[in-house]
Chain A
Amino acid sequence: MRLIYAFVVTVLLAVPARAEVNIQEVTSPGGLTAWLVQEPSIPFVALDISFRGGASLEGADKRGAINLMTALLEEGAGSMDSREFARAAEGLATSFRFSVSDDELNVSARFLTENQDASVALLKEALQNPSFNADAIERVRDQVLSNIRSSAKDPGDIARKTMDELLYGDHPYGTSLSGSVETVTALTRDDLVTAHRDVLARDRIFIGAAGDITPQALGLLLDELLGGLPKTGAPMPPVAKLRIPSGITVVDFATPQSVALFAQKGIEQKDDDWFAATVMNQILGGGSFESRMMTEVREKRGLTYGVYSYLVPMELAATYQGSVSSANDRIADAISVIRDEWQKMAENGATVQELEDAKTYITGSYPLRFDGNQQIAGILVGMQMLGLPIDYIATRNDKVDAVTLEDVRRVAGELLDPDGLAFVIVGQPEGLETTAAN
């Protein structure tokens, strides 16, 4: 019966597709740098802009200011109020998405070539001249408070909040960037103006563009769009002091399925062992069906719908985390299996077959990421924030292929800390109680 698959062998030997992405570096007359993939076949442009620092550039007493400020960028600017601004964007069929995370404030825009100048003028108002009108502040503050109250009763969000507090303590990473009911309620318009000045500055800007635009036109566009922003913003916060409370922390919450997160120290993306760790993680719990944890916890035992592990290389802390959800009477079994898999990988590393399969998956799926102008513009920003060379895409898979079985075994032994794992479990898990010394 295997005969019919004879040709599979040749397919497996074929070289995976290469992502052919031709990136140009553009320097604007005003000195801004951007990476561009010129793709004229569809008459629109995707523009992605990130400001490093994001929501971590505020003090604990102002927690939530940067998040609220970001949400207000599209709620009135220049002479336009919220709805006038939105109507202008709708009429141009342009879209702007403003979002903020712990490490960056991101602006993702797309506009038709024929509406380019008017779209850029509109976005410029939002970035450089937001109104922060009292009405808009109160309306959006109310939405943020509603979200904060909902998060407080969501088991996944409770788990995240608890784990972040344990890992990062007083560092900005230790609290939700949405802020608390108390801090958000107390924010003033001045706080938002300060947040805007602290974050949207030219000394921390990263730009990617993809679509129907020339390098010259992009340079002029960027000076027009961003040239008027302040030169410098707030200083970056210090590196986080990680604390891993080994053992289990249970948060009692009346819900049928327990939600668990687990964490230990991680590895930085610029570390020489990054790719070995990536391959090791792919085998242990990365996002495919073939991972050991998925096989053991879901496929063999049916204990969960999904179990994953992921390297989390943030700007100011590197952790290695994972998640699983199981009914309250089964979560203890799931956690026991996860601990065993962590232990086995730490002791024995991977097999030759696992290594080869993981490498083919990681290298083969890489080109699938570049599947549209918007994705590409975002990837270009991410590469620049990591300080990667402009030819990185062409060489990245070679770095994956260079990982050896010995690399994986050594990195697994050095990185994985089965006894040090910190679990946070939200629910009413049977047979589990808090053991971590918090």
Chain B
Amino acid sequence: MIRFPALAAFVSFLLPSSAGLAAQNEAVTHFTLDNGMEVVVIEDHRSPSVQQMVWYRAGSADEPKGSSGVAHFLEHLLFKATDKMESGEFSATVAKNGGRDNAFTSYDYTAYFQRVAADRLELMMQMESDRMRNIRLTHDDIETERDVIIEERNQRTENSPGALFQEQMSAAQYLNHQYGAPVIGWMHEMQTLDLEDALGFYELYYSPNNAILVVSGDVEPAKVHRLAKQYYGVIPANPDLPERLRTQEPPQTAERRVIFRDSRVAQEYISRSYLAQERDPGNQKTAAALTILAEILGGGTTSYLAEKLQFDTQIATYSSAYYRGQALDDTTFNLVVVPRLDVTLEAAEDAMDAAVSTFLEEGVDPEQLERIKAQLRADQVYSRDSAEKVANRYGSALAIGLSVQDVQDWPDILEAVTAEDIMQAARDVFDCEASVTGWLMREEVTQ
């Protein structure tokens, strides 16, 4: 959920089976201010620009029950007035300085960023630190901006049967965890969000000891340290910051099915999700195996599902697998199969399950594994072309509780994954009792 779609330079947080990128050769500096705010500096002196990001360890899954969407609503409201700035002045000032700014909210974090000429960094820090504690909201702000987020939901979700279907899939997958509610919120709860909801979330979570500053581009770490102390270091830590404990899923003991029909569906398809382990601090080995498993099964024309469903047989028009390892709590491993026009969803589902079964019998093709690792190694070179991507990688990881060391270890952990690790992870994750199977269907009765 980003605040403003035209400036969406941000990489989607649901990257399909995107393999981890490397830390080696990146000029990364990390330190923590006395008030607990973590700071990461990524140097890239090729062009005279800089990006500031502030990540809060608070996302939609941290919302109080009944207030779904408030994390994202607050993100919008942070562009209104503060003690020192008028409503809209933040973005106007960035624009007047030739910069771009935006923000985005996900399940586990909310982040704000500006891209500007390198000599404007101090002004950005001054403004971003101001709105960490000093927003001043009016009832008019609330009414108008609530209409905006409702139109945002209309645009992203209500107008898209695929998005509505995914929302139902997540709700079915998570009985008790708030990953089951959409980041943007359920419509009926969004309509009731008020000033108290927004300020309650703000007071609880927006503080330096719950934030990560990531500065990337044409900057010197010493200067960033000095400015960070000057602007963020003076903000007191919030002693009442709650421990990040969410209601967890009970063991899933029954497979679940979702049938979603909509007259706007042209192409029917199958979506399958399995509960899966996420990347945990100091324990990323299973997540690394699942990351490579997704690539093996669903990474393009050379993948296992493509071979079985698109080449050896003509069952599917498209197939894919993806895994969102970067999550605070239990995540999902997903399969998608879009059947050809003359193939029923039932036949496609059977073929998908048969392919998974034969994969579990046949095991990993060592040549395919070697090609995937060659690409992972090359990513260590390619990723240096974008300081913003490196910044996103660190910010999102630290926001879910991983350490800088975890981020820097990740490429080596991926490199060390063996065929047996992958098969073990596959045997563990493909448990039909811990799955949801969804059919997105046209409204008419299909054969």
Contact = CB atoms under 8 A, between A and B. Distances in A.
Interface of A: 1, 4-5, 7-8, 11-12, 14, 16-20, 39, 41-44, 46, 75, 82-83, 86-87, 90-93, 110, 112, 139, 142-143, 145-146, 149-155, 254-257, 259, 287-290, 295, 298-306, 308, 325-327, 330, 357, 360-368, 370-374
A91 B155 CA distance: 40
Contacts of A301: 144, 147
A146 B343 CA distance: 13
Given A11-B97, A304-B151, A325-B154, A17 B263 contact: no
Contact of B267 (A150, A259, A325, A363): A150
24 contacts: A12-B97, A16-B98, A17-B119, A19-B47, A44-B381, A82-B311, A86-B302, A91-B374, A92-B374, A150-B267, A153-B264, A155-B159, A255-B158, A295-B88, A298-B148, A302-B145, A308-B6, A326-B154, A360-B97, A361-B96, A368-B99, A368-B116, A371-B47, A371-B387
A149 B97 contact: no
Contact of A302 (B7, B48, B116, B151): B151
B117 A142 contact: no
B372 interface: yes
A255 B159 contact: yes
Given A11-B123, A86-B302, A364-B98, A302 B378 contact: no
A86 B372 CA distance: 12
Contact of A367 (B48, B149, B267, B317): B48
A90 B371 contact: yes
A372 B266 CA distance: 38
Given A82-B301, A146-B317, A370-B47, A90 B375 contact: yes
Contact of B95 (A86, A92, A150, A361): A361
Interface string B365-377: 0010011101101
Determine which residue in B6, B119, B126 has the highest number of CB atoms from chain A within 10 A of its CB, and name it. B6
Given A11-B97, A110-B382, A257-B158, A146 B375 contact: no
Interface in B303-318: 307, 310-311, 314, 317-318
B385 A373 contact: yes
A106 to B, nearest CB: 18
Contacts of B256: none
A152 B377 CA distance: 41
A209 to B, nearest CB: 14
A301 B145 CA distance: 9
B119 A14 contact: yes
Nearest to B389: A372
B360 interface: no
Given A112-B381, A288-B100, 13 more contacts: A14-B119, A17-B118, A82-B301, A87-B371, A149-B266, A288-B91, A289-B88, A289-B91, A289-B95, A300-B144, A360-B95, A361-B98, A366-B98
B266 A152 contact: yes
B317 A143 contact: yes
Contact of B384 (A42, A93, A290, A330): A42
A306 B116 contact: no
B32 interface: no
Contact of B98 (A44, A90, A360): A360
Given A86-B301, A93-B377, A150-B266, A368 B49 contact: yes
Interface in B73-116: 79, 83-84, 88, 91-93, 95-100, 115-116
Contacts of A75: 301
Contacts of B117: 16-17, 364, 367
A370 to B, nearest CB: 6
Q: Which 8 A-B pairs have the closest CB atoms?
A: A364-B98, A302-B147, A93-B378, A17-B117, A257-B154, A305-B152, A302-B144, A90-B371
Nearest to A364: B98
Contacts of B116: 364, 368
B374 A290 contact: no
B386 interface: yes
B4 interface: yes
A11 B94 CA distance: 11
Contacts of A91: 370-371, 374
A325 B97 contact: no
Contact size class for B?
35 or more
A256 B154 contact: yes
A325 B144 CA distance: 16
Contacts of A149: 266-267
Interface in B115-168: 115-120, 122-123, 126, 143-152, 154-155, 158-159
Contacts of B374: 90-93
A357 B95 contact: yes
Given A93-B375, A288-B91, A367 B47 contact: yes
B144 A143 contact: no
Contacts of A300: 144
A142 to B, nearest CB: 5
B100 A365 contact: yes
B17 to A, nearest CB: 14
B340 interface: yes
B338 interface: yes
A291 B145 CA distance: 17
A154 B120 CA distance: 42
Contacts of A364: 97-99, 116-117
Given A256-B159, A287-B6, A299-B88, A371 B49 contact: yes
B332 to A, nearest CB: 24
Contact of B151 (A44, A325, A362): A325
A65 to B, nearest CB: 20
B46 interface: yes
A259 B159 CA distance: 9
Contacts of B367: 87
Contacts of A360: 95-98
A6 B318 CA distance: 58
Nearest to A397: B98
A75 B146 CA distance: 47
Contacts of B91: 288-290
A371 B301 contact: no
B381 A357 contact: no
A83 B155 contact: no
A274 B143 CA distance: 39
Given A146-B267, A257-B154, A302-B143, A42 B97 contact: no
A7 B152 CA distance: 37
Nearest to A427: B159
Given A305-B148, A325-B154, A364-B117, A86 B264 contact: no
Contacts of B96: 12, 357, 360-361
A289 B151 CA distance: 16
A305 to B, nearest CB: 4
